[in-house]
Each structure stands twice: as structure tokens, then as C-alpha cells.
Amino acid sequence: MSDIVEKTLTALPGLFLQNQPGGGPAAAKASFSSRLGSLVRGITALTSKHEEEKLIQQELSSLKATVSAPTTTLKMMKECMVRLIYCEMLGYDASFGYIHAIKLAQQGNLLEKRVGYLAVSLFLHESHELLLLLVNTVVKDLQSTNLVEVCMALTVVSQIFPCEMIPAVLPLIEDKLQHSKEIVRRKAVLALYKFHLIAPNQVQHIHIKFRKALCDRDVGVMAASLHIYLRMIKENSSGYKDLTGSFVTILKQVVGGKLPVEFNYHSVPAPWLQIQLLRILGLLGKDDQRTSELMYDVLDESLRRAELNHNVTYAILFECVHTVYSIYPKSELLEKAAKCIGKFVLSPKINLKYLGSYSGSSTPDDNN
């Protein structure tokens, strides 16, 4: 356990203090370790919950005095905020620091703003009254020419943002769908997905832009758009039947290994992308022979290429079998799906036996 703690403490300075102005990496690491490091080591050395509570309360009292002092610099505030995050992660109330997290996101340099945004996203919930104080900062950062500031603003919007303030940022996020940088377009899609979850009526007018994201030249942007489409197709599959060909084409490219190698997992091409696409096809093809016929070939290819050699391929096969049983039936596919279930059931691994039993219970609808 001590080795894990030491490795964590070694990595944390690079995460929060990299490129710190006015001091080299060694100075940053020393400053960080002397405070958060000593707190973590002190807690891990304790033997009772009572001792932990006593130590944390002392730490919180010290932090409260520091963040409230007029002489506290933004650099010091950043270090205090990291320790406050740690105390909250342990289950202790650090609400006195919430307003200071917002101020840090508003006033700090890039590194300080980064920690401030992180603290806000961890401390507050979507209906928290203090979150309204962050709206102007988010709007300003979305309009920034600095790529990092834009990305930080999009990240916090996709995590927590007051529903009633969506109109204030929606046009800016829509504009980011046309940004030249892939990471900005990707984060913009995820922010719109968040808006669709909490206020779907406010993003209905930009569905055409979701379609452009589906055809984006960057795989990450396209993959992000699938979250939105899976959700919308669950709610109303008939409105997206015309996109079946696009989803089939994407799945063919994924199964055929046409995506960049960084999307592979244990030599399996983009497994989570395959799973999402299979779920989408299952919804689109249900009780629809014409739509189902468009996906028969790619489902057959998916069943053929996915071999029983890794946990992630088991997941793909499970989703593929479920999709075959969900769409309008084809006898050849049903036979192959049944053989796949048989391999699951006959496997010596208990988890696969359970998977096979569950797959077998998901029999086709009345169309079978």
C-alpha cells in the first residue's frame, strides 16, 4: 500500500504543477510534496477513524484561515484547493472553499484556472446556487483565443452547468462544432450531449449539426456524436432510419480495422465504438425488415471476426447476438448467434456461462 501512495505522490506534482511559472519542476515538486504529500502520508499512517477526523479537522482549520487571508496569493490558493479536494474526497465538508474555487477559475493563470475548474466540478452540483457565479467566466473562456481556456470551459460545461443558463452558452458551443481543432469539436459535442440529457428541448434545433459531427473527419468527434444518437434513437428510432446506412458504413470500417491503431484495445478494433454501433443498429432494425436488411452483412462480419479470446470480444459478441435477436430475423444469422450462445454456455468460465444464459433468455420478438 505504501508503494502505491509513494507512486501517486510522485505523479501528482506533474499533474497539477507542470510548467509552473517562476520556478522549476524541482521547486514545484518540493512545494507540493511538503503540503499535500505530508497530509496523505500522515493519514495513511493513522490507525483509527478518530485520529483521521482529528487530523483532517486541523487541516481544514488551517486551510480556512489561509484561503480567507487577504495576503494569500493565487499560487497559494491553488495548492490549498488541491488539499481541499483531497479532504472532500475523504468525505469531510470543505464548503468554505467553494467560493474560492470559483474565484480561482475566474482570476488565475492557466494552471490556476485549471485547478479552479477542477475543484468546481468536484465540489458543486448542477443546481448549486454558487454555480451561477461561474457562468460569465465560462462565456469569456469560450470566446478566448487560447485553446486551453476553450477546452477547460467546454469540459466544465459537459460536467456541470445550470440548466437555466444553457441559452447563454449554446450559440458559442454550436460555433465550436466548426472549430479547426479536433479536440474542441469533440468537447463541443460532449457538451451538447450533456445539454440533451438535462434540457433536450433546448438543443432540438441543432440536430442537423449532430449529423455533421457523425461524418466528421476525426474519429473522436464521430465517436462522441454516437452518445447523442444512441440517446435520441432510444427515444424515437423512426426519426433516424435514414442514418442506418451511415452507421453500417462506420461499423464496417471499424470491424475492418480501418480506424487508427490508437483506438484498438488488445488488438481489437475500437471495441466500445463497436458496442455502441451495435446497440444503435439493434434499435433501428427492430420490427423493420427493410432497415434490418441493410445491416445483415455487417452483423455477419462482426460475428465472424470477434473471436472468443478476450473479455472485450465477449462483450462485442454479446451485443452482436443481442442485436441479431432484436432486429427483423434472418435464419442464417440466428443460427450463428445460437452457436455463439452455445460456446458461452459450454465455456468453463462461470462468467461466460452466465453471459450465455442471459443471451439465450433474450429470445427474438414475435418476428422470430
Domain ranges of the chain: 243-367
The pLDDT value recorded for residue 141 is 96
- Is pLDDT at 26 greater than 90 in this prediction? no
pLDDT band at 106 (very low <50, low <70, confident <90, very high): very high
194-214 confidence digits (pLDDT tens): 999 898 888 888 888 888 899
C-alpha cell at 345: 454456455
Give me the percent of the chain exceeding a pLDDT of 70: 88
Q: Which residue has the cell 510522485?
A: 10
- Is pLDDT at 88 greater than 80 in this prediction? yes
pLDDT band at 267 (very low <50, low <70, confident <90, very high): confident
The segment with the largest mean pLDDT, out of 39-43, 49-53, 209-213, is: 49-53
Q: DSSP for 160-214? A: ---GGGHHHHHHHHHHHTT-SSHHHHHHHHHHHHHHHHH-GGGSGGGHHHHHHHH
The pLDDT value recorded for residue 237 is 92
Residue 265: strand pairing partners = 268
Give me the percent of the chain exceeding a pLDDT of 90: 65
The pLDDT value recorded for residue 203 is 85
**CATH architecture of the region 243-367:** Up-down Bundle (1.20)
Distance CA(184)–CA(153), nearest Å, equals: 10
Furthest-apart CA pair in the chain: how many Å?
76
The pLDDT value recorded for residue 2 is 52
Mapped onto helix, strand or coil, the DSSP state of residue 216 is coil
Closest CA to 308 of 350, 336, 362, 347: 347
Whole-Å CA distances, 86 to 31, 82, 105? 16, 6, 18
- Is pLDDT at 107 greater than 70 in this prediction? yes
Distance CA(86)–CA(79), nearest Å, equals: 11
Closest CA to 193 of 159, 168, 220: 159
Distance CA(113)–CA(138), nearest Å, equals: 11
Closest CA to 288 of 243, 322, 241: 241
The pLDDT value recorded for residue 3 is 60
Q: Stretch 77-84: mean pLDDT, rounded?
A: 94
C-alpha cell at 299: 452483423
pLDDT band at 30 (very low <50, low <70, confident <90, very high): very low
156-186 confidence digits (pLDDT tens): 999 999 889 999 999 999 999 999 999 999 9
The pLDDT value recorded for residue 345 is 82
Whole-Å CA distances, 6 to 13, 15, 30, 32, 61? 12, 15, 14, 13, 26
The pLDDT value recorded for residue 21 is 43
pLDDT band at 219 (very low <50, low <70, confident <90, very high): very high
The H or E element containing residue 325 is helix 311-326
Q: Which residue has the cell 425488415?
A: 289
Q: What angle do CA 317, 366, 230 make, to 5 degrees?
A: 50
Say what the pTM is.
0.81
Q: Stretch 69-97: mean pLDDT, rounded?
A: 93
